[in-house]
Each structure stands twice: as C-alpha cells, then as structure tokens.
Amino acid sequence: MSGLTVAQRIGLWALALVLLWLTPGLFRQPPITLYTDKVTVLAYHHIDDSADGMVTIPTRLFHSQLTDLVQRGYHFITLTQFKQFLAGGTVPPNAILVTFDDGYKSFYTNAYPILKAMNIPAVNFVITKDLEHPEQSRIPSLSRDEIRQMTREHAGIDVQCHTDSLHDTAPNGGALFTTRLNNGSVEETEQAFRQRIIEDTERCRAKLGQLYERPIDSFAYPFGIYDTQSAELLREAGIAYAFTTYSEIASRQADPLQIPRINAGSPFIKSNSLNNLIIKRLHQQK
C-alpha cells in the first residue's frame, strides 16, 4: 500500500470496515473443537418471561444461549443419537443433548418455537399424572395434543418419563421415588416399596407410549435423587437410560442409569457463560 495516496488508504480501510459490518462472520475464527467422543447433556426446566426461580429463565436467554453455542461450533444431537453413542456409535465434535424436566407447558409455548426454528432436538421428561388435567397443575403442563403435535412436526423432539405420580417428597422426608412410606408406626414393606416404584414407572411408560411410537425407555430422577436400588427398579420396569443432576460431561463409559447433566436453566448462566461452564467441567474431568 506504499504507493497509495492517503485518500486511497482511507477508502480501503472504510471498505474493509463496511464488509466487516455487513458480514460479521467473514473474519471470525473457525469453531474450535473442545472435545470429541463426549456429549454435554444440558438440563432445563421452565422457560417463562414473567416468573422467577432458580430453574426458570426468560425466553430471550434461552434463545441467546442456543445461538451462542451454535456460533461456537457446538452440534446438537437427538436422544436416539445419544443412546447410539453410549452403545459405541459416533457423535459430532462438541456434541450437546438438550433436556427438559417436568413437562411444563412453557416448553410448548416458549422453548419449542425456538427449537423448531433452529432445528435443535430436545427431550422433555414428563410427569404423566399431569396429562389428565394439564391446566390445573401448579405450573401448567403439557397436554397430550401438544405432545402429539411437537413429536410429529419435529423429528428431534422426544418425551420420556419423570415418574407418573412420584415427583414429590414423602411425608416422612426424602423423595417419594427413593423413600419407604411410613403410615404412623407402620413402615412400607420392601415388597410394597418395590411394587410402588415399578408400577408407577410402568404407568408413565404406558401413558407416553400411547402418544407416539418411539421407545419410552429413558427417565430423569425426581430432584436428581437416586440410589442403587431405585436404578435397579427402573431397569426392571423397562428403563434403560436414566439422567441425574450430577454436573459432568457424559463419556461413553457413563453408567446408562447415572447419566450426568449440566444445569443450563439458571438465570445466572448468561449466554456466553454456558460455554465457559462446559470448558470448566472438561478441565475438571481431565
């Protein structure tokens, strides 16, 4: 540029700035491969613009989180792909599985339009007793028609089990799913406890199985609470994959009934900090 006049140099710099403004991705560094042969499983609950809570985030934050991850080169996979990965199959680098707990209606009204527009798969773990009267639950829940619509319109949308009616605390403390009931001085027998857990799980699977034809073989532990016995009872009831709230990146060696997840549905996790959280977990697991 030594032979150019000052005016010509200024013109070239102006042209470069205009190109940069019109095409922001033109000079962006290519996406970085942070990990291979692993899957980050993200956990969300409620996407709502008027409610506050530790597991509730506004629609704009959910959208900006996903947009940031796409721009950074993350690849979103389906639940089917994740199960194939655990069985020895391959996944793209920087693989992510998006999950939701509780089956709230906000998944349909706020999250699903974004997932559909961005062609991002997701699985929602549903409390199936709420299917009977979805508008009467404490937080409105998904209806059968909404589940049918989403799973037919978007091949990447799955619904799986979050118990039928055991997502609650026991009167004597602990989680209903892992705690023997105590009626005064009489404690639930081992046989009665096992039967209660297995039958509840089978009801959940049966109800969801009426809505679409994909396997209902996955489960999210209520409150993330589980033990060896509860995992074994799930297996007896036909569940092959169960998701925890233990914060790690899932490897192929993960126990299929103790799959870790990273909480992304906190209002404190801004769009760019989700990437930082994933990197932090990767370093901690080395």
pLDDT value, residue 26: 45
In 23-83, the DSSP E strands lie at 38-44, 46-47, 56-57, 75-76
Bridging pattern class, strands 75-76 and 95-102: parallel
pLDDT value, residue 14: 54
| Residue 64, token pair as written in the block | 């900006």
> Residue-wise over 220-250: b if at least 16 C-beta within 10 A, else e?
bbbbbbbeeebbebbeebbbebbbbbeebbb
| Residue 193, token pair as written in the block | 């406890």
Confidence of residue 3 (pLDDT cuts 50, 70, 90): low
Helices (H), the chain: 6-22, 59-71, 79-86, 106, 112-118, 144-153, 190-209, 228-236, 271-284
Amino acid at 233: L
Residue 193: pLDDT above 50?
Answer: yes
The answer to which of 49-53, 73-77, 193-197, 273-277 has the lowest mean pLDDT is 49-53
Bridging pattern class, strands 38-44 and 262-263: parallel
Residue 286: pLDDT above 90?
Answer: no
Residue 194 CB coordination number (10 Å): 16
Residue 146: pLDDT above 90?
Answer: yes
pLDDT, average across residues 2-9:
57
Contact between 60 and 280 under an 8 Å Cβ cutoff? The reply is no
pLDDT tens digits for 89-136? Answer: 999 999 999 999 999 999 999 999 999 999 999 999 999 999 999 998
Residue 31: pLDDT above 70?
Answer: yes
Confidence of residue 239 (pLDDT cuts 50, 70, 90): very high
Non-local CB neighbours of 234 within 8 Å, separated by 6+ positions: 197, 201, 219, 242, 257
Bridging pattern class, strands 56-57 and 75-76: unpaired
- The DSSP symbol for 2 reads T
pLDDT value, residue 7: 58
pLDDT tens digits for 240-258? Answer: 999 999 999 999 999 999 9
